Chains A and B, each alone.
Chain A
Amino acid sequence: MSAPTDIRLPQRVVERCMGTVFSVDVRAPGVDRRALTEVLRWLHWVDETFSTYLPGSQVSRLARGELSPGECAPEVREVLDRCAELERITDGYFSAFADGRLDPSGLVKGWAIERASGMLAERGSLNHCVNGGGDVQCAGESQPGRPWRIGLADPLRPGMLVGVAVGTDMAVATSGTAERGAHIVDPHSGARPAELASVCLVGRNLATVDAFATAAFAMGAAAPDWIAGRSAMSGGVVFADGSIWMSAELTPA
């Protein structure tokens, strides 16, 4: 009675992890159901390893000085290296130490989702979409000849959209205050930027796009200029007063 035997059926799983909900949506036919199970196992492993909420996670122990990077999983070192690189590229607006204490969360979820998408691709899924709490990595198409279409949530009006990102092999990440309040810190000043309601970025790879969205949010009113200067990304900024800025790549109505 299970879906896996019918290779025409799209497969979808919804899983709670990392304090949010992941939706894995596989549109490619003939993908083994075990590939989805593997992805969910991976996401939970990332949570256990990188969580700053679990005192026993490797990242928590690393932050307390109980582990050295060399004693951690290679993935932890990979993330730390990536964080350092992103901090350089973003002039310090993305930082794994934004709050003074080690917290690579601004990269981890996007990185884990991008990796999950790669795992599905290795298992033969050319067409799928992984959404982790609003950060999205799409591969291939949603249907033959049809690119993925990801709505961009309006942070000020629940249930509404401010736009739609359209593309194949596309990553979409949003940083903002709508769901969890002012939690993003400008690493330079220690302040929590209040000018913006959300920053949405669209690019190719979610790890970078997610971290860049966090960095752009931390920049506050300077975010639009910074986004406009990124050749590989487009984006939208919703200000706290409700006004909206969108990249020049925007297709006008």
Chain B
Amino acid sequence: MKRVIAAILGTVAGLVALLSFKTPGHATGAASGLPSAALPAALPASSSSASSSASASPSATGSSAPDPTSGGTAPGSSATTAKSYTGKAVTTRYGIVQVKIDVSASEITNVSFVQLTAFDGRSQRINSDAAPTLLQQTLSAQSARIDGVSGATYTSQGYEQSLQNALDQAGLK
């Protein structure tokens, strides 16, 4: 139980670390969107219950998180059509991963794992940690409304399960 709590605290720390850069010479409005997006309490009311339960208890994620109906109905957008995109199952160093995203009005409303198979103890720890945090984080990323992702150069295969791929798929629809 201690370990679980430590993992949750790590998750919260990771979310609080979701800060924002200023580019030299440019005033930004970053502060308005991001810090609040980093905290479950400040998520849109429609999705806050799902995400706070995800961060409070990783084991509850499977039942509460993939809830496209609550995630997709922001005020005034009830008429927009939601679409799902399922990525290919990819073997990574963390195990087999397959991600599904729900998109409504060009925004990611939900991310869920279709498949998540760990190889070893370390991956298991990462996975049990990563499943809720990816969900949480991507909701934050949605609130932060990122347009792209920078990271260490991925291989063509690594791209398949990347957040950039999800963004591209949503943009290519």
* Residues of chain A whose beta carbon lies under 8 Å from any beta carbon of chain B: 10, 12, 14, 16, 19-21, 23, 25, 109, 129, 131-136, 138, 142, 147-155, 157-168, 170, 172-180, 198, 200, 202-204, 231-234, 236, 244, 246-247, 249-253
Is the beta-carbon distance between A162 and B18 smaller than 8 angstroms? yes
Interface residues of B in 111-149 (CB under 8 A from A): 111, 126, 129-130, 133-134, 137-138, 140-141, 144-149
Residues on B lying within 8 angstroms of A by beta carbon are 14, 16-24, 26, 28-31, 34-35, 38, 92, 94, 97, 99, 111, 126, 129-130, 133-134, 137-138, 140-141, 144-156, 158-159, 161, 163-165, 167-168, 171-172
Question: What separation, in Å, do the CA atoms of A14 and B158 have in the docked complex?
Answer: 14
Contact B152 A149 (CB under 8 A): no
Beyond A135-B150, A198-B152, whether A164 also contacts B18 by CB under 8 A is yes
- A233 CA to B114 CA, complexed, in Å: 39
Q: Are B26 and A167 in contact (CB under 8 A)?
A: yes
Cβ distance B98 to chain A, nearest Cβ, rounded Å: 13
Asked if A158 meets B92 with Cβ closer than 8 Å, knowing A163-B20, A251-B20, the reply is: yes
Q: Which residue of B is nearest A3, CB measured?
A: B172
Question: Nearest chain B CB to A134's CB is how many angstroms away?
Answer: 4
Separation of A180 and B154 alpha carbons in the complex (Å): 7
Contacts of A172 in B (CB 8 A): 150
Contact of A155 among B28, B130, B144, B151 (CB under 8 A): B151
- The CA-CA distance from A61 to B21 in the complex, in Å, is 42
Q: Is the interface of A mostly helix, strand, loop or mixed?
A: strand
Give the chain A neighbours of B152 by CB distance below 8 A.
Answer: 134, 153, 155, 174-180, 198
**When the two chains form their complex, are residues B146 and A163 in contact, meaning their CB atoms are under 8 A apart?**
no
Contacts of A173 in B (CB 8 A): 150
B21 nearest CB neighbor, chain A only: A165
* Chain B residue at smallest Cβ distance from A172: B150
The 9 residue pairs across chains A and B that have the minimum distance between CB atoms = A167-B23, A153-B151, A176-B152, A159-B134, A253-B35, A133-B153, A21-B159, A151-B146, A134-B151
Which B residues lie within 8 Å of A153 (CB)? 149-152, 163
A253 and B153 within 8 A (CB): no
Q: How far is the CA of A186 from the CA of B24 in the complex (A)?
A: 28
Which residues on the B side are within 8 Å of A167 (C-beta)? 21-23, 26, 28
In the complex, chain B residues whose CB is within 8 Å of the CB of A14:
168, 172
Name the B residues within 8 Å of A161 (CB-CB): 18, 137, 140-141, 144, 146, 149
Chain B proximity of A166: nearest CB distance (Å): 4
Contact A166 B130 (CB under 8 A): no
Q: Are A166 and B156 in contact (CB under 8 A)?
A: no
Partner of B164, one of A131, A163, A168, A250: A131
> Chain B contacts of A138 at CB under 8 A?
147-148
Can you name 19 A-B pairs with beta carbons within 8 Å? A25-B148, A131-B164, A132-B153, A136-B148, A138-B148, A147-B26, A149-B145, A151-B148, A151-B150, A153-B149, A159-B111, A161-B137, A161-B144, A162-B19, A166-B23, A167-B21, A179-B152, A179-B158, A250-B20
Contacts of B38 in A (CB 8 A): 253
